[in-house]
Amino acid sequence: MPVDIHAPYIPLDDWAYSDVGRVNENRLKVLFVGNFRGTPAPIEVPLSVRHCHELLRFWSPSADLELELEFGGSPHQVRVRYRPIDIHSFLFPLTACELVDDPRDSPSSNTELSTILYGLLSNWESLQKEIRVGMEERAVYREDVETPIPSAELQHVIDGLKTVRGLAHPESEPLGLDQVYLDLSALYEQVQILIRQDAVFEELKASWLGLDRILKAGMNHHSLEIWALNASVDTLLEDCDFEVANTSLYSAIYQSEIGQYGGDPFSSVVLGFPVGFSSKTSSVYKYLATIGELASTAILLDPEWSLLKANDHSILDGLENIRIELDSQLLDISAETCGSFLFLAPQSSVVAVRHGSYPGDEVMNEDLDIFDCPGSVDLIINLIETLVDLRSAVPDLQQDTFDYEVRPIYWFGPSTVEVLQSCGMTVPVCVHPQSPLTFDEVRPVGGMTAHTNASKSDDGIRPPELIGLVQILRILHKLKEWARDNIGVSMSLNERVAAINSEINAFVLDTPRPQVELLRARPLSAASCELVEDLDTAHDSYRLSFRLHEHHEYPAGELTTHVGMG
């Protein structure tokens, strides 16, 4: 069960807690799971969020990073503490770093380098300014003008550089300010690169910037709720040792389903950091797929399969010959009903980030950074833009915001996309690097056609793609809510099944080619419920089957799932 948070968190304009009625037909509620705190922490309750800076102040992320520097011809190990204070800190991490061990308090073999880093991290901008001023004044040196004396802080840095460079002898040549500037700049850049390559920092950056991208795309639309939950790959691995129904992640999702957090269940759960598929993490995939089925929600995940590392492909033919080796456990998931709830979206683009600009503001139009963003983020943004009418949304005009531009790193047409879909992966169609990303069918792992025939029914209808699944899950959550209120212990088993089937029929339209307007309330062409004998559960267990009508937003699909109700 999730633990209590240590202080109340109330987002600005807290509309997310106000609607506690039945499931809203037009609302999309997304749970974004990311490593937001850096340090290991138990999974707590999810939090509604509208702007990243609110959550940054509340969670106060922090991470101690071990860095191995090459400086002065020898390696040095230092520890820095990364504490991002705003969203910019993820683009320029050194502005949010400090030494874990202050060289003034704990002298060590790295005292000289620590002294240099202390000055570098504490006030690099002022050091730069002082060095430049000193260089300019020496360039116009006159005998009647006294040579400027460095500040105590800069002098400590210069003395440290002398020692590291082996110049700490009276007969040594003085260290020029130009060389000081070059050495400090090189060290600054080296530390920044090492921090950006750290695994914990990469998870933090992917999580926070991914969340910011989603919030930016949604533009605070009244029909869209974004919630955040802190977790990491390690906490998910720990949860795999327990029964899924007893884990913190499932509990957080289930609490939303029964109205604990704003009334609506989560439409989808997005993992904001990649989980590389390996023998160590394969249990996480089964765990997440099972949660998706038990909680009746779609799970979006980046498997960290870089398409450029795929076996047997050719750059020259547009990656038409890609073949991916599949793990046996992934094939097992695809053959089970829980495989219809897990969507794998490997990264297929990089994201350029700029300062949020106003029309005509050309100064802010330069790239601040280009970073990797999980494919799961691209996928949920596509879902938001498809299901939510953003034309009525108000753009975010706050200061210190970013603009994001997606730039494809792979480009391929429908035939390549079909090959990748057969391997359980979802990638956007992109016929040219300058073309926008467009998702065609977004099939789950259960829609894999390679090496298995279990995913297809006799008439060729496969598990529903993402948009169709969201429509079915809205119906399923209504059925669960209805069952909690109406299925009583006084009813016999046959009476319960008959009552559920009667309720399901309200969403079925038994017409071969119905009008699109009618499908909004009744999108199913067929549906059924039957009781499953399960002595291990306290609740009744049912097997429910749903078949979607063909729709202009999604193809026909069929979902079979096991649900506990009553």
Higher pLDDT, 507 or 113: 507
3-state SS class at 405: strand
Would you state the pLDDT for residue 324?
Answer: 65
Query: What confidence tier does 77 reach under pLDDT thresholds 50, 70, 90?
Result: confident
Would you state the pLDDT for residue 208?
Answer: 96
Query: What confidence tier does 558 reach under pLDDT thresholds 50, 70, 90?
Result: very high
Would you state the pLDDT for residue 72?
Answer: 72
3-state SS class at 76: strand
Highest-confidence range of 35-49, 139-153, 417-431, 467-481, by mean pLDDT? 467-481
H runs (alpha helix) in 410-451: 414-422
Query: What confidence tier does 294 reach under pLDDT thresholds 50, 70, 90?
Result: very high
Would you state the pLDDT for residue 227?
Answer: 94
Q: Which residues, at least 6 apart from 152, have a Cβ–Cβ distance to it below 8 Å? A: none
Is 90 exceeded by the pLDDT of residue 475?
Answer: yes
Task: Please give the C-alpha separations between residue 169 and each of 161, 166, 333, 404, in angstroms, as whole numbers.
Answer: 12, 8, 68, 52
Q: Which residues pair with residue 268 across a beta bridge?
A: 30, 298
Highest-confidence range of 66-80, 156-170, 250-264, 328-342, by mean pLDDT? 328-342
Percentage of the chain exceeding pLDDT 90: 30
Would you state the pLDDT for residue 383?
Answer: 93
Least confident of 222-226, 276-280, 402-406: 276-280
HEC readout, 507-547: HECCCCCCCHHHHHCCCEEEEEEEEECCCCCCCEEEEEEEE
3-state SS class at 2: coil
Is 70 exceeded by the pLDDT of residue 524?
Answer: yes
Q: Are 387 and 28 in contact (CB under 8 A)?
A: yes
Is 70 exceeded by the pLDDT of residue 5?
Answer: no
Query: What confidence tier does 2 reach under pLDDT thresholds 50, 70, 90?
Result: very low
CA atoms of 30 and 256, how far apart (whole Å): 11
Q: Rounded mean pLDDT of 481-510?
A: 88
Least confident of 185-199, 368-382, 428-442: 428-442
Query: What confidence tier does 267 reach under pLDDT thresholds 50, 70, 90?
Result: very high
Our measurement of the distance from residue 82's CA atom to the centroid of its chain's CA atoms, rounded to an integer in Å, reads: 20
Q: Which residues, at least 6 apart from 402, have a Cβ–Cβ distance to it below 8 Å? A: 87, 209, 212, 216, 353, 354, 355, 356, 368
Higher pLDDT, 291 or 99: 291
- Mind listing the pLDDT tens digit for each residue in 452-464? 444 445 566 789 9
Higher pLDDT, 382 or 398: 382
Is 60 exceeded by the pLDDT of residue 302?
Answer: yes
Closest CA to 270 of 221, 331, 350, 343: 343
Higher pLDDT, 545 or 174: 545
Highest-confidence range of 119-123, 411-415, 499-503, 518-522, by mean pLDDT? 499-503
CA atoms of 463 and 337, how far apart (whole Å): 9
- Mind listing the pLDDT tens digit for each residue in 161-198? 777 666 544 455 566 788 888 888 888 889 999 999 99
Q: Which residues, at least 6 apart from 190, have a Cβ–Cβ distance to it below 8 Å? A: 69, 70, 71
Higher pLDDT, 92 or 533: 92
Is 80 exceeded by the pLDDT of residue 300?
Answer: yes
Highest-confidence range of 67-71, 355-359, 396-400, 522-526, by mean pLDDT? 522-526
Is 90 exceeded by the pLDDT of residue 201?
Answer: yes
Q: Which residues, at least 6 apart from 492, have a Cβ–Cβ distance to it below 8 Å? A: none
Task: Please give the C-alpha separations between residue 529 and each of 109, 323, 425, in angstroms, as whole numbers.
Answer: 71, 39, 30
Would you state the pLDDT for residue 155?
Answer: 80
Query: What confidence tier does 548 reach under pLDDT thresholds 50, 70, 90?
Result: very high
Least confident of 25-29, 211-215, 292-296, 561-565: 25-29
CA atoms of 338 and 340, how far apart (whole Å): 5
Which amino acid is residue 136, in one-letter code? E
Which amino acid is residue 28, in one-letter code? L
Query: What confidence tier does 499 reach under pLDDT thresholds 50, 70, 90?
Result: very high
Would you state the pLDDT for residue 175?
Answer: 66
Higher pLDDT, 454 or 471: 471
Q: Are 467 and 487 in contact (CB under 8 A)?
A: no
Is 80 exceeded by the pLDDT of residue 136?
Answer: no
Closest CA to 375 of 322, 304, 435: 304
The overall average pLDDT reported for the chain is 79
3-state SS class at 518: helix
